[in-house]
Structure formats: C-alpha cells, structure tokens
C-alpha cells in the first residue's frame, strides 16, 4: 500500500473556527486530492493538486482552500467551519495512472 497518512484522524471543532487537515505521502506522487464523503453523496472532490504550488478546484470547493508547498504534503483548510462541513475527509494521491491511493480519512465534526 502507498504510504499516505492524514492528521488529525478525528476532530471536533466549533462553528466559525478555522481548521487545517494535513495529508502526507511518502511515494513522491505528483497528484494529490481532497475528497469529502457524506451519506447519500458518495465521494466528492474538493480540490486537487498536480504539482507543488499547482492546485485547482473540484466539485465542492466553496468554503475550502488548499496549499501544497512540498510534494509530500497537501493541506486542506476550512477558513470558518460550518456544520455543513461535518464529514469524513479523504486524501488521495497518484503518480499518473488513474489508480488513486487513499489515506485513512479524517472524521470532522463541526458543532
């Protein structure tokens, strides 16, 4: 399995606070992705990166920003968390094939 980790694994935060989730991969993969998974919606792409400092929006990017200053790290920031952002967040990476390797997920609860 690809070495991809996420931190924190669980987080509870209050509405209006900023939150940053971290994804770290040791495979030197070029492409990295952030998804959210909610009941009834499946996995939805938030943002993705195709290289250091190169990012683009996905299907549900409103309220989220990302940064990638190093190949191995991809950060997802909720500038001001809302209850609708309560979800399970998955990070994924790939070198170029379409097979994406997923991290273990972060369960975020916004109260």
Partner 1 sequence: RKEVEQDPGPFNVPEGATVAFNCTYSNSASQSFFWYRQDCRKEPKLLMSVYSSGNEDGRFTAQLNRASQYISLLIRDSKLSDSATYLCVVSLGGGSQGNLIFGKGTKLSVKP
For partner 1, the binding residue among 43, 61, 71, 77 (CB under 8 A) is: 43
Contact status: 58 vs partner 1 (CB under 8 A): yes
Specify the stretch interacting with partner 1 by CB under 8 A; choose among 19-27, 61-69, 70-78, 94-102: 94-102
The β-bridge partners of 45 are: 35
Structure-block tokens of residue 72: 């191995």
**Applying CB under 8 A, does 31 fall inside the site for partner 1?**
yes
From candidates 83, 104, 109, 111, binder to partner 1 by CB under 8 A: 104
Nearest Cα residue to 2 out of 64, 72, 88: 72
74 binds partner 1 (CB under 8 A): no
Q: Tell me if the bond preceding 26 is cis, omega within 30° of 0.
A: no
Rule CB under 8 A: which residues touch partner 1?
31, 33, 40-45, 48, 50, 58, 90, 94, 96-100, 102-105
């Amino acid at each position: 399995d690809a070495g991809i980790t996420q931190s924190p694994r669980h987080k509870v935060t209050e509405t209006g606070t900023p939150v940053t989730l971290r994804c770290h991969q040791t495979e030197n993969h070029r492409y990295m992705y952030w998804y959210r998974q909610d009941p009834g919606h499946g996995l939805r792409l938030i943002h993705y990166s195709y290289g250091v400092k190169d990012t683009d929006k996905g299907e549900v990017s409103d309220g989220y920003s990302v940064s990638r200053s190093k190949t191995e790290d991809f950060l997802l920031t909720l500038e001001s968390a809302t209850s609708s952002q309560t979800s399970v967040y998955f990070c994924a990476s790939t070198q170029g094939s379409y097979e994406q390797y997923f991290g273990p997920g972060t369960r975020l609860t916004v109260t």
